[in-house]
Amino acid sequence: MSELSSRVELRPLTLSDEDEFCSLVRASAELHLPWMQLPSTPEEFRAWMRRFDDGVNLGFLVRVRETGAAAGMVNINSLIRGRYQGASLGYAAFAPSAGRGYMTEGLAATLRYAFTELRLHRLEASIQPGNEPSLALALARRLGFRYEGLSPAYLYIDGAWRDHERWSVTAPDPWRPDPSLPGV
């Protein structure tokens, strides 16, 4: 699967991405901590990749089409079928490419894939209230996510249960991203 926008492509994360991924996570530590923990060693990466084995979680790299460099990562997590038809999103930019709009395009491609190919109805993103850089970027809002409320002690991150703002988007029929977004 290779989902294209004007500047990025969404590629499945594979074991062969280990060295690049771990290197980019280490280079992005100031950007990610304490908001999220991504694998930064080969052992952590291989253990983390096992979560994608059963199809309940899907991992992708957002790659810059022109250079092939990984600009960030996106996960579609805890995919639930039946009456729910939804999942949660995890995403992070890598520091060398941050601030260039690649993640906006990558997440738009992820939403397109989730709502058309996976035929999901709902996606959720959770953001810690103290993560002011992420909230200031308003990436979720720009992609059509709605604020739903605060979930106290929602996820265990960096050694503690952390409050999270919950944001969601549901699939219009058919789903179309905001045409004013770059590369959409």
Tell me, what CATH number does 156's domain have? 3.40.630.30
Domain annotation covers residue 179 = no
Query: Is residue 51's pLDDT more than 90?
Result: yes
CA torsion angle 37 69 30 36 (round to 10): -20
* Higher pLDDT, residue 171 or 180: 171
* Higher pLDDT, residue 99 or 122: 122
Domain annotation covers residue 165 = yes
Query: Is residue 27's pLDDT more than 70?
Result: yes
Domain annotation covers residue 175 = no
pTM of the model: 0.86
Domain annotation covers residue 182 = no
Query: Is residue 5's pLDDT more than 80?
Result: no
The single-letter code of the amino acid at 87 is A
Domain annotation covers residue 177 = no
164 pLDDT band, cuts 50/70/90, is very high
pLDDT of 54 reads: 94
Domain annotation covers residue 183 = no
pLDDT of 133 reads: 67
pLDDT of 178 reads: 53
The single-letter code of the amino acid at 41 is T
Number of structural domains (the chain) is 1
Asked whether the beta carbons of 11 and 63 are under 8 A apart, the reply is: yes
Residues with Cβ within 8 Å of residue 175, at least 6 apart in sequence: 111, 112, 115, 116
Domain extent at residue 75? 3-170
Residue 175 token pair: 């789903």
Domain annotation covers residue 184 = no
Domain annotation covers residue 180 = no
pLDDT of 33 reads: 74
Nearest Cα neighbor of 88 from 63, 119, 62, 111 is 111
pLDDT of 182 reads: 45
Query: Is residue 9's pLDDT more than 80?
Result: yes
32 burial level (CB within 10 Å; 0-12, 13-18, 19+): middle
